[in-house]
Structure 1
Amino acid sequence: MLRRILETLGQVAGTGDGANMPDGVTAALVAKPDAPVAVLEVDENYVPLSRRKCDRSA
């Protein structure tokens, strides 16, 4: 939803198809290298800080 809103303002790189692993994120950024904004879905296993925050709040 955020990506679609931002696309009204211009190019946005993003993982709209659910490709949230490193290869999908890389492909999204390579596909639109000049996009000034990126909206990326990232698997929580690859973001240790957010995972710790989730574990603490549970």
Structure 2
Amino acid sequence: PAPAKTFQCRGYGECRMVFSRSEHLARHIRKHTGERPFTCHCGKQFSRLDNLRQHAQT
């Protein structure tokens, strides 16, 4: 079988975390950038959609 494709974090200091999925790398990069693209109607912002959904249920 073909080797598994990997996606590595680069350009953020010493971080070299490796992920098997590109979307997991994209999610991780938001930790470095501080981006919070998911906003609740109450004004609270989240870096992950699942965290926004969990917040909305409370």
TM range (shorter): under 0.3
Scaled by the length of structure 2, what TM-score is found? 0.26
The structure with more radius of gyration: 2
The one of the two structures with greater contact order (alpha-carbon pairs below 8 A, sep at least 6) is: 1
Scaled by the length of structure 1, what TM-score is found? 0.26
